[in-house]
Structure 1
Amino acid sequence: MRILVFLLVTLACSFVFAQKKELNLEAELVVDGIAVGWGMDWLPSGDLLITERSGTLYLWDGQALNEIEGVPAVKSKGQGGLLDVKVHPDFNTNSWIYLSFSRPMTGGEATTAVVRGELRGNKLVDIAEVFRAEPALSTNHHYGSRLVFDKDGYLYVSVGDRGKRDENPQALNNHCGKIHRINDDGSVPQDNPFVGNPIAMQTIYSYGHRNPQGLAIHPETGALWEHEHGPKGGDELNVIQPRKNYGWPVISYGVNYSGTKFTELTAKEGMLQPEVYWVPSIAPSGMDFVTSDKYGALKGDLLIGSLKFGYLHRCDLEGGKVVKEEKFLEGIGRVRSVRQGPDGFVYFTVEGKGVMRLIVQN
């Protein structure tokens, strides 16, 4: 009996050690020929939708890369273009997919918009706009714009401050520098935090954001996690709560690109602190939680792409808090989108390369 207990304890310890040992992660190219793959999502069939920022939506069926017709015109300039893509949770019934993009407006202006369309074969039809950020501006950066559905079917849309930090993020009478929550048809949920406020945009869920390019739902708690670009330093990882103010630009851990300060404050009453902030900036873009068993100790953690330094950034979570951070695949290139696929593998896009799959080498 003692020998059996000893063997069981030894096996358990060996398993824990194996789970904690350093992972040998590599990347393999799955889809090439895509310059800036901004967003990805999967159809129930397993086919992969990929947005290319210049304005093309692709479908990868495992063999061929096909272009989807019917995509709306985009303003592909600066940080603008065709941005995220999201498949409706009930796609098998309605065939809906959603696209966020920089919509060209009159006078050379543009804004962040979201459309819904029915995917029929290789064509998008019956397109309807479900969200448009106001005001439209002539700037060509800080559009956001990630899309994510929660378990209740609400669609969250991130919108950047469009480079107007002193006018937009702290004001409720515009859509910029905010996280928005809408129904799948674009209507406003009646329990949105600013419903009934006569000066507020009714879709606002949280505010005080700079340029949020990461949204993900925690698989266990259902909480909405977000990351956003800071200026020079001060990139943030946040857990989003309704009606809360995340501080930009009143509080920040960053400075102007010239090195001068725009605020002396890193904290203020009534403004939430980030879960993590990065100085220097890593330029985060895209993220997802790892829920599969394919990556051992990474299960339950958050993977984030780094544009600036070109790697996958791991946030090790315990009890809903980040307890450790780690870098993988340093030098791989500008990681733009990170998603776990239905097969349990993590996929990510690298600018100038295409879509890559994260694999474990034994």
Structure 2
Amino acid sequence: MFRGGMMHQAARAIGALVIAGSFMGASGVVAQELRITQQVSGLDTPWALAILPNGDVLVTERDGRLLRVREGTSQEVTGAPQVVDAGQGGLLDITLARDFDRSRTIFLTYAKALEGGAGTALAAAELSQDGARLENLRDLFTMSRGSAAGQHFGSRVVEARDGTLFVTVGERGDRPAAQDLGQHNGSVVRV
């Protein structure tokens, strides 16, 4: 189903379950059978997913497409941010706001064109009631400097209980910049 980062995460999760099952079996607890079922095909470099309350799944693809998957079929959600699809950059993480049921807000991280190249940005938008488009797309954070390097954009976004957002930003292939407090490279940014 997934390639790249998602496949790596899925493999790690399955490995952890197998190891945990081995320990549980050794202590007398019977492990359940694990089944993997393909939910959708035809994805191209999916990066992250968010499960909607109705069971549909939003999937980001690095090339900039945001897909809504329902019952084995995917449909593109319009209105995603314009991304720099180069190297490891593109449309990256997605997180539903804690109050999604009321606000319909989602958060997306992506590689954005900046002076000097590209950098990581965080956007918020509302998913339309029919799930077909993003509305009111706006940037909440953009890293301070762009870079021509194609690697290490990060990026994950997490919402804390108080509504604060935490965004990880890669060091963009410039390790010394991660030690420079005047730059966002290699940081966890609080928004």
Q: TM-score range by the shorter chain?
A: 0.7 to 0.9
* Residue 157 (structure 1) aligned to one of 158, 167, 170: 167
Structure 2 unmatched runs, 5+: 1-24
CA apart distance, 1:15: 10
Where does residue 96 of structure 1 map in the other structure?
Answer: 105
CA offset digits 1:76-113 (Å, max 9, x no partner): 11101110111111011111111100002245x10100
Where does residue 28 of structure 1 map in the other structure?
Answer: 37
Where does residue 126 of structure 1 map in the other structure?
Answer: 136
Looking at structure 1, the residues matched to 34 and 103 of structure 2 have their Cα atoms a distance apart, in angstroms, of 38
Match for 1:140: what amino acid? G
CA offset digits 1:273-303 (Å, max 9, x no partner): xxxxxxxxxxxxxxxxxxxxxxxxxxxxxxx
With over 3 angstroms needed to count, the CA separation of the structure-2 counterparts of 1:143 and 1:15, relative to structure 1, is closer
State the secondary structure of the residue aligned to 1:78.
coil
Match for 1:30: what amino acid? Q
CA contact 2:153–2:170 (8 Å) conserved in 1: yes
CA apart distance, 1:25: 3.6
CA contact 2:115–2:145 (8 Å) conserved in 1: no
- Answering whether residue 137 of structure 2 is matched by residue 142 of structure 1, we say no
Structure 1 unmatched runs, 5+: 1-13, 183-362
Where does residue 83 of structure 1 map in the other structure?
Answer: 92
CA apart distance, 1:16: 4.3
| Aligned counterparts, 1:259-274, within 5 A | none
- Answering whether residue 96 of structure 2 is matched by residue 73 of structure 1, we say no
CA offset digits 1:225-258 (Å, max 9, x no partner): xxxxxxxxxxxxxxxxxxxxxxxxxxxxxxxxxx
| Aligned counterparts, 1:342-361, within 5 A | none
- Answering whether residue 89 of structure 2 is matched by residue 51 of structure 1, we say no
CA contact 2:59–2:68 (8 Å) conserved in 1: yes
CA apart distance, 1:28: 2.2
Root mean square deviation, CA, Å: 2.1
CA contact 2:57–2:69 (8 Å) conserved in 1: yes
Looking at structure 1, the residues matched to 84 and 56 of structure 2 have their Cα atoms a distance apart, in angstroms, of 27
**Which aligned segments of 4 or more residues in structure 1 are displaced greater than 4 angstroms?**
none
CA offset digits 1:181-228 (Å, max 9, x no partner): 21xxxxxxxxxxxxxxxxxxxxxxxxxxxxxxxxxxxxxxxxxxxxxx
- Answering whether residue 125 of structure 2 is matched by residue 114 of structure 1, we say no
CA apart distance, 1:24: 5.1
CA contact 2:58–2:67 (8 Å) conserved in 1: yes
State the secondary structure of the residue aligned to 2:126.
strand
The structure that has the greater radius of gyration is 1
Looking at structure 1, the residues matched to 43 and 159 of structure 2 have their Cα atoms a distance apart, in angstroms, of 26
Match for 1:137: what amino acid? S
Looking at structure 2, the residues matched to 18 and 92 of structure 1 have their Cα atoms a distance apart, in angstroms, of 37
Looking at structure 2, the residues matched to 100 and 69 of structure 1 have their Cα atoms a distance apart, in angstroms, of 16
Looking at structure 1, the residues matched to 76 and 114 of structure 2 have their Cα atoms a distance apart, in angstroms, of 25
CA offset digits 1:37-89 (Å, max 9, x no partner): 10111122221100011110000122421100011111111101110111111
Where does residue 174 of structure 1 map in the other structure?
Answer: 183
State the secondary structure of the residue aligned to 1:145.
strand
Match for 1:42: what amino acid? I
Looking at structure 2, the residues matched to 85 and 79 of structure 1 have their Cα atoms a distance apart, in angstroms, of 16
Aligned length: 166
State the secondary structure of the residue aligned to 1:169.
helix
Q: TM-score normalised to the size of structure 2?
A: 0.80
Quote the sequence identity (%): 34
CA offset digits 1:124-148 (Å, max 9, x no partner): 1111100111111111111000111
- Answering whether residue 51 of structure 2 is matched by residue 42 of structure 1, we say yes
Looking at structure 2, the residues matched to 99 and 17 of structure 1 have their Cα atoms a distance apart, in angstroms, of 43
